[in-house]
Amino acid sequence: MTLAQDIELGGLSTLRLPGRAASFLRLTHPQQFATLAEHPRRFFLGGGSNLVVCGNVDALVVQVALSGKRLINEDDQAWYVEAAAGENWHDFVLWTLAQGWPGLENLALIPGQVGAAPIQNIGAYGLEAGEMIAAVDAYDCERKEMLRFSATDCRFAYRDSLFKQQGWHRSGRILIVSVSFRLPKRWQPRLGYADLARELAARQIKSPSAQQLAEVVIAVRRAKLPDPDILPNAGSFFENPVVSAAEAQALLVQHPQLPHYPQPDGRIKLAAGWLIEHAGWKGRRLGPVGMYEKQALVLVNHGGATGQDVQALVGAVQGDVERQFGVRLRPEPVFVG
C-alpha cells in the first residue's frame, strides 16, 4: 500500500503547531491493519485535539478514520452502543441522545474522536467516559491480532487507563478500533457542578431532560472555551491535581475559595484552572502562546507558535503554581516530535 511522504501535521492538530511526518496513512478500513505491522515506528493520530507537535515525527503517522456506530444489544437494564474509533466524539454523543439513549450528555462538545476517549478517560462535569464504557476492541500491531478489553481490564482512573499506563498511545503498539458503551435505562442527571446549576437556573429548568442537560453543557463550554478554528488550542491543557485530604485541608486554610471535590478514595481533586488563574497566568502570554483570557486552564496559540514555545509556557505555569501552592500540574496532551 502506497503511503504519503513528508506530510505537514500543523493542520491536523487543533493547536496548529508545525511539524512533518516522515510517512502518513489515513486508516479507513481493517484491511489496512496489516500495513501497520510493516512499520516498527507508528503514531496514531485522532482528531488532534489532545496533541502538542514539537517537531518532525520520524514514524508512520496513522490518522484513524474508522467509521460506524450502531446499537449492538439491549436488555431491561441498558442499551449497548458501539462506535468506531474514528467517529467524532461530540457527534456520537448527540447521536445517542437523538436515539433516546441518554448517559453521555455531560461529555458533550469534548473535542476529539471516540477512540481517544478510553485512553485519557475523558471527563467533564462529574462524569468520566470509563463509567459508561463496556468494552474496547483493539488491534495489536506486533502480534497482528484483535484484542478485547473489558471495562475492568481498562483500569480506568482519573484521566488514566491501561492504554495510557502502558504507553501504547505513544508506542503505537495497540490501535483502538472501536468502543462499546453501556447506557443505563434508569437515567439520573448529574448536576453537581456550579456552572451547570447556574445555567439551568438562568433557563428556569429544575428537572432537565438529557437533551436539555446536553444543551446546557454545550452552552457552558462554548462560553468558556475558544473555537480552535479561530484561536488554536488544545482544550483544557492541565489535569486537575488530586492531593491527599491533609494537603487539601492545608491549602484550604490559606485559600478557602479554592474549588475542591472529594474523591471516592478519600483524596481531594483541586481545580487546576483556579490555581493557574491565582498564580497570575489567566490571559497572560509568553511569546506567541498564553493561557486563555476567559479560562486559565486553556493554552492558546496566538499565531506562529512552535512546540518549543508551548513547552516553555508549560514549564513557566507549572513553576509558578508549584511555588505558590505546592502543587505540581501535569499536562493532559500527548507531546510528539
List residues with catalytic annotation: 159, 236, 332
* Amino acid residing at 227: D
C-alpha count within 13 angstroms, C-beta hemisphere, residue 11: 2
CA quadruple 149, 150, 151, 152: dihedral sign: negative
237, 331 contact by CB (below 8 A): yes
**Grid cell digits, residue 165:** 499506563
| 267 Cβ neighbours under 8 A, 6+ residues apart | 242, 243, 244, 245, 248
DSSP state of 331: B
> Which candidate, 182, 148, 153, places its Cα nearest to that of 166?
153
How far, in Å, are 22, 25, 35 from residue 1 at the CA level?
16, 9, 7
Q: How far apart are CA 196 and CA 219, in angstroms?
A: 9
Residue entry with cell 505540581: 328
Residue 168's SS3 state is helix
Q: 94: which strand partners?
A: none
Query: How crowded is residue 160: how many other Cβ atoms within 10 Å of its Cβ?
Result: 17
Farthest-apart Cα atoms in the chain, separation:
62
Residue 159's SS3 state is coil
| 145 Cβ neighbours under 8 A, 6+ residues apart | 139
Q: 333: which strand partners?
A: none
208, 196 contact by CB (below 8 A): no
- Give the DSSP letter string of 115-145: GGHHHHT-EETTEEGGGTEEEEEEEETTTTE
**Grid cell digits, residue 131:** 463509567
